[in-house]
Amino acid sequence: MAFPTSSKYVIIGAGIHGLSTAYHLALELKARGKGSGKDIVVVDKSGIAAGASGIACGVVRNNYYQPAMRELMAQCVEVWESDPEAYHYHPVGYMQISCESMHEDVAQIYKEQQGIGYESSFIEGTDECLAYMKTILSDWRAPGITSVLHEKKGGYANNTSSIYGLASKAESEEVRIITGCEVTGFERSGGAVSKVKTDKGDIETDQVIVGVGPWVRHIWDMLDLPKEVSIKGADGTMHDGIGMWKYWCLEEGVLGVDPDFQKTNDGGMPPVIHVDTDVPLHSDVDGSVITEEMWGIYYKPDFHFNGVQGGAMPYKVETPVDEVAVDPYGPDSPDFIVGDDFAHMWCSALAACQERFSGQIGKWKTEPSGGLGCFTPDSFPVIDTFCDNVHIIADSNHGYKMIGIGKLVAGEVVGDKSALLEPFRFSRYAEGKLHPVSHSPFPWS
């Protein structure tokens, strides 16, 4: 098939956001009699699921302290639930298991989940939490826990499989996906982009949608968008010269046990488990203190990874942003083979939470995992229109779980403004409309 020299809609990125937008836009166009998937081209410099979406942990949760994030995630869970087979989605639920410093925050999350009809249970008190967890996992022993938020919805999806499922849905609507096609620049007519320039040729277009995950800074720079922002603080003071992008490195891995090793007391598959505690973490190898600071991990049994898979808190990449590799997953990017220190910490944390993991560190699987996450100034997504006709999804590493963003952006492309996306506009920085911050040790919470 010949390379297209024009397409009404050009979507950059064949990951979760690009393909979700493509599929839902094709449905919108057909329903409104305004076109079809034939009017949509998706381009990706590598391939389907070749970037962050293809190595994502796959956790799907509503657990956010920020009301706007929580409401957006409820919509995303509905999209996951709409076709669990195609999306390879496992609705096992999700548990936020926390120490006292997070108790008030998590209680607020639970209260607001009830307000939007999102099913969950909330358990409070040290003894009560231990008893509740033991009804699910008899060997539970995580220290310092005073609250458990058990979301009955959510769970996880198999990363690469779900993206290929999205691609199949888009192609069934006649969307064209072109891989091995790198965007090299843009041509403008007035303020709007009129051509997307690629290493395969130029594509004339009316609308551009950008959903490229950690590569967003590269596209942002091509469009000559601001490298710094001014942010209005709660006291009305303007803080100027804040860098638009920052990077955190995510470390994840797999304990190579049979996934059935983590079955619940009744023989079923457990919810995704996330633990945050301030009790010092001791080595499961020699009993030494690994950290006296607050620590957190998440994990789940996963047949796609063939083991128990999960991760822990990321670390900030201190390299100045302009020196970070443009290609976060390319040959010049940092080495994401997670090291012995992380394996020691994560396996010891697993053992601290459940007795069955004690002595299992020898089954740690050394392999590439995690990657660079590209974060906005406040670590929450920016979803907005720039240059008159360029819709940018800058997910700030909240990406994979938020499959529903593509559906909302598709609606906006055809003219329907989304109330769920309004809190994520770029203008929030200058207006001081920032999202509240919780006591979680994770930067995206």
Domains of the chain by range and CATH? Answer: 1-91+154-241+378-445 (3.50.50.60), 94-152+246-375 (3.30.9.10)
The residues near 84 (Cβ < 8 Å, ≥ 6 apart) are 90, 91
Q: Please state the pTM of the whole predicted model.
A: 0.94
- Strand 238-243 vs strand 228-232: parallel, antiparallel, or unpaired? antiparallel
Do residues 196 and 10 touch, judged by C-beta distance below 8 A? Answer: yes
3-state helix, strand, coil in the chain (%, to 5): 30, 30, 40
Q: Is residue 153 scored above 90 in pLDDT? A: yes
Which pLDDT does position 328 carry in this prediction?
Answer: 53
229 strand-pairing partners: 242
162-171, 234-243, 249-258 — which one is most confidently predicted on average? 162-171
Of 195, 206, 219, 180, nearest to 5 by C-alpha is 195
Mean pLDDT of 316-328: 56
Distance CA 163, CA 94 (A): 21
Which pLDDT does position 283 carry in this prediction?
Answer: 98
**Is residue 338 very low, low, confident or very high in pLDDT (cuts 50, 70, 90)?**
low
Which pLDDT does position 323 carry in this prediction?
Answer: 47
Query: What is the DSSP secondary structure assignment for residue 4, as one 8-state letter?
Result: P
Do residues 266 and 248 touch, judged by C-beta distance below 8 A? Answer: no
Please give the share of the chain, as a percent, with pLDDT higher than 70.
93
CB atoms within 10 A of CB 333: 16
Mean pLDDT of 155-159: 94
Which pLDDT does position 60 carry in this prediction?
Answer: 95
Q: Which of 123-137, 276-290, 310-324 has the lowest mean pLDDT?
A: 310-324
**Is residue 337 exposed (0-12), middle (13-18) or buried (19+ Cβ within 10 Å)?**
exposed
Tell me the H-state helices in 63-209.
67-82, 103-115, 126-136, 159-172
Do residues 159 and 53 touch, judged by C-beta distance below 8 A? Answer: yes
pLDDT top residue among 253 and 320: 253
Containing 58, the helix (H) or strand (E) segment is none
Average pLDDT, the chain: 92
